[in-house]
Chain A
Amino acid sequence: MTLAVVIVTGNLAARLFGKANLGKAGILLIAAYEGALQLGGLSEYLDDQQVRASLLDKNKEGIFSCIGYLAIYLLACRIGFAVRLSSRRRALRDHLATISLLLYLAHYATSATFGTSRRIANSSYSLWIAALGCGHLAALLAVQLLAGSRLQSAILDAINQNQLLVFMAANVATGVVNMTMQTLLMSNGQAVAVIFIYTIMITGVAHAYTAK
């Protein structure tokens, strides 16, 4: 649900502000949300586990965390836009790494003052995810630069082409495994075996579906 809201709102924002401005929009959103949390009493409201009367109350974390996730989406959109525009890959890799570091610093700063919460997706969390994502992108780019054009992965391509299928299959398989086996009681060796078999099956499914 959160994903649907974030995508629709994010696209709307891209229309309204233009992709190039989404970086500032994302940061503003993070600041505004954290402001509301700290100064507007939103934090107390969200922390309160007792009163869950209305439908809004019952889902308040989900609803308000949309704001944090939207911020992540906007920042990511800006980065994607920058990637598309850039032509020099080595410079891009270095830029991404730098941005990632800056975001990490911001994350640690906000984490020390406000704490990090996935549940409400506060500023520290959004900055952390953005930092990780940028770093991830930089690392992948670095690998691609090292390996040259030979780099190609059937598994990753298969996953890319059937993302939703892979995710659903994984969820279903996890459910099946949990219902048929007592995972908490299994030995380490058995655990590794099960995880490996499961992963092989999932990647196999993705691959088979692609070959169709």
Chain B
Amino acid sequence: MHEFLIIVAPCILTFLIPPTVLVFIPLEAFLIIASGLPVRPRQPPASKPLFVAYLKATTMLMTVISILAVDFRLFPRRFAKTESYGVSLMDAGVGATVFGMGVSAGFSAHNHRPLLGSLWKGLPVAAIGAARCAAVKLFNYQVPAADLNA
């Protein structure tokens, strides 16, 4: 899947070796335009313009890479989640996810969800949060005190 090489691989390398991002930005621009990513009709007709939908996807991609990469020595330390003060890449990941949800919500057709509907949708997320709490307690997983955010 040549897409992986164009989109995902540079992302990984950029995280691990930050200066390479300077090389990659023009390279990416060239590749995306010149390679002609396969044109497929979107299976359901697009309800959102591409760039809106890809906000969440790219955020998720960066999050997925980071949560594993942070466990290696190669990952730049300054990108890892901060303890108290300061900014870093992974700090942004949490907020960016929330931002993406907000944009999706703001973009959706109806002015507001019926309250019960949004409660219902919130349930899986809340359940996962609760399950994570329970699992952490059960397995005695190492939790730094500043991480009690569920």
Chain B 75-110 interface mask (CB, 8 Å, partner A; 1/0):
000000111111100011011111111111111100
Give the contacting residue for A137; candidates B51, B61, B85, B105; CB below 8 A. Answer: B51
Give the contacting residue for A195; candidates B42, B69, B108, B148; CB below 8 A. Answer: B69
Contact B81 A118 (CB under 8 A): yes
Question: In the complex, what's the smallest C-beta–C-beta distance from B111 to chain A, in angstroms?
Answer: 7
Q: How far is the CA of A111 from the CA of B64 in the complex (A)?
A: 28
A10 with B102, Cβ < 8 A, contacts A132-B95, A152-B37 known:
yes
Chain A 178-212 interface mask (CB, 8 Å, partner B; 1/0):
10000110101001101110111011000100000
Q: How far is the CA of A144 from the CA of B29 in the complex (A)?
A: 11
Q: How far is the CA of A166 from the CA of B60 in the complex (A)?
A: 8
Residue of B nearest to A107 (CB): B87
Contact A74 B102 (CB under 8 A): yes
Chain B 34-73 interface mask (CB, 8 Å, partner A; 1/0):
0011111010000001111111111111011101110111
Interface-central residue, B12, B39, B68, B122, by most chain A CB under 10 Å? B68
Residues of the B chain whose Cβ atoms lie less than 8 Å from the Cβ of A188: 73-74
Check if B134 is an interface residue, CB within 8 A of chain A.
no
Residues of the B chain whose Cβ atoms lie less than 8 Å from the Cβ of A173: 68
Contact A140 B119 (CB under 8 A): no
Contact A78 B118 (CB under 8 A): no
A76 with B74, Cβ < 8 A, contacts A11-B112, A129-B99 known:
no
Residue of A nearest to B121 (CB): A7
Residues of the A chain whose Cβ atoms lie less than 8 Å from the Cβ of B74: 188, 191-192
Question: In the complex, what's the smallest C-beta–C-beta distance from B78 to chain A, in angstroms?
Answer: 14
Give the contacting residue for B103; candidates A61, A137, A194; CB below 8 A. Answer: A137
Contact A191 B148 (CB under 8 A): no
Q: How far is the CA of A161 from the CA of B69 in the complex (A)?
A: 24
Give the contacting residue for A11; candidates B12, B58, B105; CB below 8 A. Answer: B105
Check if A160 is an interface residue, CB within 8 A of chain B.
yes
B interface list, Cβ under 8 A from A: 1, 3-4, 7-9, 12, 16, 29, 32-33, 36-40, 42, 49-61, 63-65, 67-69, 71-74, 81-87, 91-92, 94-108, 111-113, 115, 118-119, 121-126, 129-130, 133, 145-146, 148-150
A interface list, Cβ under 8 A from B: 1-8, 10-12, 14-15, 18-19, 22, 49, 58-59, 61-62, 65, 69, 72-84, 111, 115-119, 121, 125-126, 128-130, 132-133, 136-137, 140-141, 143-144, 146-147, 149-157, 159-160, 163-164, 166-167, 170-171, 173-174, 177-178, 183-184, 186, 188, 191-192, 194-196, 198-200, 202-203, 207
